[in-house]
Amino acid sequence: MSKEQVYKQLIRYSLLGIQEKINCIDDLAKLDEIYKALKQILDMTGFKGKWVLEHRLEGIR
């Protein structure tokens, strides 16, 4: 397995674990911090659907 494949697999499993943990968080400040970190990741990967997330978040605020 190449280093690239290992990184991709680790990231995928990490994201799945994070998703499970997020479901248990009720603290809005903590969720806001998670969102900001996630937004940075989305920016780095060039994810195009993030505007939908931002629009929904603005609707909630």
Q: Give, for all 61 residues of the chain, the pLDDT tens digit.
A: 899 999 999 988 888 888 888 888 999 899 889 888 888 888 888 887 777 777 777 776 5
- Residue 47 parent element (H or E): none
Question: What is the pTM (predicted TM-score) of this model?
Answer: 0.62
12-20, Cβ contacts within 8 angstroms, sequence gap of 24 or more: none
2 vs 7: CA distance, rounded Å: 9
| CB distance 38 to 57 below 8 Å | no
What percent of the chain is helix, strand and coil (3-state, nearest 5)?
80, 0, 20
Separation of alpha carbons 41 and 23, rounded Å: 20
